[in-house]
Amino acid sequence: MERIRIVGGSALNGTIPISGAKNAALPLMIASILTPEPLVLENVPRLRDVNLLGRILGNHGVDMAIAGKRAGQSETTGQVMTLTARDIVDTTAPYDLVSQMRASFWVLGPLLARCGKAKVSLPGGCAIGTRPVDLHLMGLRALGASIDIENGYALAEAPRGLKGATISFPKVSVGATHNVLMAAVLARGTTVLENAAREPEIGDVAACLNKMGANITGIGTETLVIEGVDALHGARHAVLPDRIETGTYAMAVAMTGGDVQLEGARAGLLESALDVLRGSGVTITENNSGIRVARNGAGLQPVDVTTAPFPAFPTDLQAQLMALMCRAEGTSHITETIFENRFMHVQELARLGADISLNGEMATIRGVKRLTGAPVMATDLRASVSLVIAGLVAEGETTISRIYHLDRGFEQLEQKLGNCGATIERLAS
């Protein structure tokens, strides 16, 4: 099994290109189900989750083609992917595929909208919490679908099509918003989604759906209004930059010190996280082509942060911030309100010398003078990259195993950090 080896102690200096957002690319790929015409997506990151979703969509009958390399492109230039769902030949998404990636459950809404039926495996639990799908089912039922749960599958039917409705989500859910939004675009009449998630990736998908002929207003707010249309057509859309990758590398630079340009990053997508970093003593400036992050000499100040839906501090940067605060000059508090079990990195960070205690959903992080390298294990996608951040300053060698988690969401991580001076490599076993 592959591992990543890091020798800590080098500052990061240079340029890191920011990839297209995984969490937008996945639902955008799924949106291709809604039209028989080609959907062309630019800036798609090369990630395990993208490949896996390609297989899942292929099983439904979606053709996927990736354009070859063009002059002037580097290995970090995003891919151009054409998805064509001319005929949906199979409306079943089986357990062995859905269980590998929760977002594949989001095919349920589009399949229902296009074909009037779908059989999609329930995704099951995952390392960071129970993650139910009740809000997805509630929203789709409100649009007129009948959904039974049988043998681990959601069996959904809407033989006479879906019908617009006003749906008020009792809790903000990114996935439920995507799923119900993609169903509502082809429903008869008007759908209003209240307390919808406002994550930028939702806005990106809504913008793409509008290019495909949908009629969605309220994008970027907590109320989305969708006037259903009879059919969608093909379109071309570029995936927005990955705000979680941006924040992760910003924290890596904050940790090691140095000066790095995050090329292609957009500050407006992660203001809350950038504000936290500024409060901690990191210099962040926006320029024409991205964001520049620098910390030279000054110590890191501790922070008090609570994760919450956008525009607040994202849960997907919680582990990375915790790693950073291990080296702050004082005590930080981080409260996780989105996922109940998203603290598995704490035990691994402790192996590197971190001083963290947990009390329910709050972690107390007492900054230490030094971290020291050790073998550690990745437990989920964001937790694994927090170990990379810690490893970059830990004295000596840190090896991270189970890095398939990293490959789900971070494109060319070793190359991007290595090009800026980090000593980092992938070991075959």
Residues with a known catalytic role? 126
Measured from the CB atom, the residue of 245 and 373 that comes closer to ligand UD1 is 245
Are the beta carbons of 42 and 236 closer than 8 angstroms? yes
Measured from the CB atom, the residue of 56 and 393 that comes closer to ligand UD1 is 56
339 is a contact residue toward ligand UD1 (CB under 6 A): yes
Measured from the CB atom, the residue of 316 and 348 that comes closer to ligand UD1 is 316
Stretch 295-314: interaction string toward ligand UD1, x if CB under 6 A: --------------------
Where does this chain touch ligand UD1 (CB under 6 A) — which range of 31-39, 159-167, 169-177, 219-227? 169-177
Positions 203 through 222 that interact with ligand UD1 (CB under 6 A): none
Residues 6+ apart with CB under 8 A from 270: 243, 246, 247, 314, 317
Are the beta carbons of 79 and 67 closer than 8 angstroms? yes
Are the beta carbons of 162 and 143 closer than 8 angstroms? yes
Specify the pairing of strand 166-168 against strand 190-194: parallel
325 is a contact residue toward ligand UD1 (CB under 6 A): no
Are the beta carbons of 18 and 241 closer than 8 angstroms? yes
Least distance from ligand UD1 to the Cβ atom of residue 312, Å = 10
Q: Structure tokens of 69? A: 């390399």
Least distance from ligand UD1 to the Cβ atom of residue 29, Å = 11
319 is a contact residue toward ligand UD1 (CB under 6 A): no
Stretch 121-160: interaction string toward ligand UD1, x if CB under 6 A: --------x-xxxxxx------------------------
Q: What is the DSSP annotation of 307-349?
A: B-STTSB-GGGHHHHHHHHTTSSSEEEEE--S-TT--THHHHH
Number of residues that bind ligand UD1 (CB under 6 A): 21
Residues 6+ apart with CB under 8 A from 3: 399, 400, 401, 403, 426, 427, 429
Positions 340 through 379 that interact with ligand UD1 (CB under 6 A): none
**From the centroid of its chain, how far is CA 186?**
26
Are the beta carbons of 295 and 281 closer than 8 angstroms? yes
Where does this chain touch ligand UD1 (CB under 6 A) — which range of 2-10, 52-60, 167-175, 261-269? 167-175
Residues that bind ligand UD1 (CB under 6 A): 23, 26, 102-103, 129, 131-136, 171, 173-176, 197, 315-316, 338-339
